[in-house]
Structure 1
């Protein structure tokens, strides 16, 4: 009971007091319902007497009516919470999860798949909130009514009551078995549901690739395996509950049969009247109904608790610590000082190995180097994706560990290679950078980013919806919209993760012009794979195995004849490469 009550209160959240009031109403209503059975037994007993006392009979009848009227009023209190507050409980849980996910370090957030988070915020919240709504009140009724009815039966005839008391506990071990197996099975089901949801999201988003690889439909092995595993886990969970559920319900029904059999023997022995036995049998049946309901509800409660455990895991996650909540950034040079960073504590080698460099304010720095060398990690640490394992990252001389992430985000704009647009209008996607921006300001940013040109050709202009992940636009158009968003934000620090790498030459020119408008008079860090795009950088850092292997301007690095010169030679040589037609 303590565990279930804790579950209900956590799920109710800020509406805990209203939930408690409704729970008290449910308790009073259940007591009134059980007492009404007692009044009914008293009425039947009086009507079975040779000389009926009408005053006594009417008294029992009025008591019966009043108790049922009280129960009805109490049930209204339950319904008020169920219909007015249940949706709000779910909304509060989802909003709370949203706040936690926004504050969660990106390093932790990346460990969770989109499908898993969708299951968490969707199904898990619904199941958890059920524990503080319909099921909670049914459970109170399922516990209170049988206890009071057994006490009434003991008062009316202690022998029949003792039979009920002796036989009902036989169901308890099987009820506990249901609880244990349901808990284990439902937690496994939750995990399988999250995995299946992730594979479905992956499947839908990757359909073009799957079609090209011939992996659509039944041949999509990853999705097929996840769905089969989900089906297997659900099936095994249900099978494990079948036997204990049947035995628990049978034990309750046998208790009723035994009580009626004893009562029948007493009637034959003239120790009990037949009408009174009928009344006791009705009470015993009423006792069985909530007990059987409770047996089936245990699995649902375990589902609620399993869901709540997943929610609590997120709700208890700690945001990045902030050394000084009042710290502000007012200068925009960037410095890495002996920074070491591992993505996982058990990684044998760090991604960044005591790396140090400085990005002067209002300068353009390019990071080049092989894949996996640590370039993207550097850009992530500037946005406080995570804190270094050792060393310091500073903006304007301020240690980022002292600064709230929101303060950092105010001053940094990021343009990724893989652009994510929301399924909304072009105007709304640009205005996300500054929700209070006017239409004129949005259009000015769009013009600077070469967005206005293609938007003006669209039938609905800036009110055109871009589709899921921006799928209604081309790659170059999506990239320009994301740059317009960054221009509108007008942040003094700009991070570019090779925004032109996947574009055709025509789109690349338009995007490069948009970037030129974005980076003017900013502190800019660009991750570059095409060295030709960064020849004018103020400094180029060659990153290799988490360290700065070389630094300098394009000319200085070519003169040094080191790694950069080799990379430049390889790329310029590749431009002359051609596919030769094979002979026949």
Structure 2
């Protein structure tokens, strides 16, 4: 969309805002005319002071005060009207963004990234304030006031009108230099700003890992590089603006115009071409056209930013929601079937992430996915809760294609335990009960026992009521993971997907989690992604993935007998599990 079509589209979300904007502009126009009339009458009142005071003086004075007061009052009413409309529109847009995010495939939300979503939801919506709250009354006053001033001069003293008009070409040239390349500079700034938002979030969230492992300070260097890019972008923009600002500070101020009016006006007075009252009138209102330019130029920049912000908001609102069935089916069986599934990220058929994947996971069994990074394991897992829809083929629960199940209903049947356990600020009990808010204390405790979590919970200072901190930072990685498994057990979900649940835990926590997984598999259909193969030796089936294909499948012992890919992975795993630190001589330490 070009121009203000995107802004108009967002304004249309709340019809009353459009009428408020029109009212604000009308009030602004009236305020501009009222102010010029007030200044004109005040000029004539001042000219009367040099003569014997007559009744006309009081009429001019009263009219001038009334005009100026009316201009101020009308402008205040215009601002109040449009600001109220702006705040209501901001709430409406944020509600629409939240609704759109709720309907998008979860995979698309991950691709958007926290930094970009935050910028759109907060900064860009706030950026529309200029287009709604400020622009309407400002445009009304900004155009009506100089227009009224020029009109009054043209009618009352056309000679002074010509003098003031000499500044108009200079103003136009200054405006050109100031607005040149603004859109391109704004685009660069927005891109750099989004990168900084994302980098800050990643840097803060990853601080423990960075401080522990980033000996070469690579993460810090990357973060500093992004900050430096943002700084350079801002510096280039400021340098560009500084050049044009010098011209503006010289010409687009009242002083040059007033000097011009004074010089020409005094000359015309001496030649008896104009009266003293005409001269005062020109001095009072002649600089208004110039005074209006700089605020209008700044407003133009704000409106350009508002257009860019509206474009990004509309891009998000235009993202395709996850298709929902007209009549949702209700699954009663929870075996999982992949039938010739093919999937490509961003619909890039040349690079399929999964290619002709077919397998069945019977209900209440455990299926393990193993393979190198990038083999497609996580993609398989994320397609089941419809993070994305398959490119071709189908995924079924029982005999029902998951695309024929309402997405909210589908998610009620699936619990996803991520590699990075997610906890919210609150108590241990509240985090477990996220899956089932109506759960009783007994149900919460039973889920914790099954997840091998109650032992450490009871050792905490306040037991189940202990606050876990921001993101669960008061607990260890293994403790957080067991709480998320307890959450999965408490949920009414019939399917549990675990994405490398023991990736970042110590051996003791790993053993506890293994016991929890055995309990989990007795009640639910489980799909587990694992690098630590010891955790999935008892799985009902193990699928070995490589480059988006399933290359082997079977139980642990069967796959070892085949001496294929799984046996190779198992051998590497066994070798790595026997690595230890050499406790020999001081000079011969190392890995063996």
TM-score, length of structure 2 as denominator length: 0.88
Residue 17 of structure 1 is matched in structure 2 by 16
* Offset of residue 137 of structure 1: 3.0
Contact kept in structure 2, 1:116 and 1:194, CA below 8 Å: yes
* Offset of residue 341 of structure 1: 1.7
CA deviations 1:358-403 (Å, max 9, x no partner) are 1222222222233322111111111112122222222232223344
Residue 472 of structure 1 is matched in structure 2 by 474
Counterpart Cα distance in 2 of 1:577 and 1:45: 97
CA deviations 1:522-551 (Å, max 9, x no partner) are 222122323332233222222223222222
Counterpart Cα distance in 1 of 2:146 and 2:274: 22
Work out which of the residue numbers 506, 525, 532 in structure 2 matches 1:530.
532
Instruction: Map 1:226-241 onto structure 2 (within 5 A).
Output: 226-241=226-241
Change (3 A) 1:513 1:308: same
Change (3 A) 1:396 1:159: farther
* Offset of residue 99 of structure 1: 2.6
Number of positions where the alignment pairs a residue of Structure 1 with one of Structure 2: 582
Change (3 A) 1:23 1:460: farther
Contact kept in structure 2, 1:12 and 1:129, CA below 8 Å: no
Please identify, of 49-58 and 222-231, the stretch whose mean Cα deviation from structure 2 is larger. Answer: 49-58
Segments of 5+ residues of structure 2 without an aligned counterpart are 588-592
Residue 355 of structure 1 is matched in structure 2 by 357
CA deviations 1:115-163 (Å, max 9, x no partner) are 3333333333322333322354334322221122211221121222233
Change (3 A) 1:448 1:44: same
* Offset of residue 56 of structure 1: 5.1
Runs of 4+ in 1 over 6 A off after TM superposition: 49-53, 216-219
Residue 187 of structure 2 is matched in structure 1 by 187
2:412 corresponds to 1:413: no
Contact kept in structure 2, 1:40 and 1:60, CA below 8 Å: no
Please identify, of 494-503 and 212-221, the stretch whose mean Cα deviation from structure 2 is larger. Answer: 212-221
2:211 corresponds to 1:211: yes
Residue 41 of structure 1 is matched in structure 2 by 40
Aligned to 2:552, the other structure's residue is in SS state: strand
Counterpart Cα distance in 2 of 1:257 and 1:108: 61
Counterpart Cα distance in 2 of 1:498 and 1:214: 23
Counterpart Cα distance in 1 of 2:355 and 2:208: 39
Counterpart Cα distance in 2 of 1:250 and 1:576: 77
RMSD of aligned residue pairs (Cα, Å):
3.2
Aligned to 2:192, the other structure's residue is in SS state: helix
Aligned to 1:518, the other structure's residue is in SS state: helix
* Offset of residue 214 of structure 1: 5.7
* Offset of residue 440 of structure 1: 4.8
Contact kept in structure 2, 1:337 and 1:392, CA below 8 Å: yes
Residue 168 of structure 1 is matched in structure 2 by 168
Contact kept in structure 1, 2:34 and 2:71, CA below 8 Å: no
Residue 283 of structure 1 is matched in structure 2 by 285
Change (3 A) 1:47 1:468: closer
Residue 150 of structure 1 is matched in structure 2 by 150
Residue 32 of structure 1 is matched in structure 2 by 31
Residue 590 of structure 2 is matched in structure 1 by none
Instruction: Map 1:80-479 onto structure 2 (within 5 A).
Output: 80-81=80-81, 84-213=84-213, 220-248=220-248, 250-253=250-253, 254-324=256-326, 326-346=328-348, 348-479=350-481
Counterpart Cα distance in 2 of 1:59 and 1:572: 102
* Offset of residue 105 of structure 1: 2.4
Counterpart Cα distance in 1 of 2:300 and 2:571: 70
2:515 corresponds to 1:540: no
Aligned to 2:419, the other structure's residue is in SS state: coil
* Offset of residue 239 of structure 1: 1.7
Contact kept in structure 1, 2:436 and 2:492, CA below 8 Å: no
Counterpart Cα distance in 2 of 1:460 and 1:81: 52
* Offset of residue 415 of structure 1: 1.0
Counterpart Cα distance in 1 of 2:213 and 2:289: 61
Contact kept in structure 2, 1:164 and 1:256, CA below 8 Å: no
Counterpart Cα distance in 2 of 1:496 and 1:350: 23
Contact kept in structure 2, 1:338 and 1:356, CA below 8 Å: yes
Aligned to 1:319, the other structure's residue is in SS state: coil
Counterpart Cα distance in 1 of 2:297 and 2:177: 11
Contact kept in structure 2, 1:124 and 1:311, CA below 8 Å: yes
Please identify, of 92-101 and 78-87, the stretch whose mean Cα deviation from structure 2 is larger. Answer: 78-87
TM-score, length of structure 1 as denominator length: 0.89
* Offset of residue 58 of structure 1: 4.6
Please identify, of 167-176 and 313-322, the stretch whose mean Cα deviation from structure 2 is larger. Answer: 167-176
Aligned to 2:112, the other structure's residue is in SS state: coil
Counterpart Cα distance in 2 of 1:309 and 1:547: 40
Counterpart Cα distance in 1 of 2:559 and 2:422: 35
* Offset of residue 11 of structure 1: 5.5
Counterpart Cα distance in 1 of 2:205 and 2:46: 73
Aligned to 1:555, the other structure's residue is in SS state: helix
Counterpart Cα distance in 1 of 2:172 and 2:442: 71
Counterpart Cα distance in 1 of 2:494 and 2:79: 55
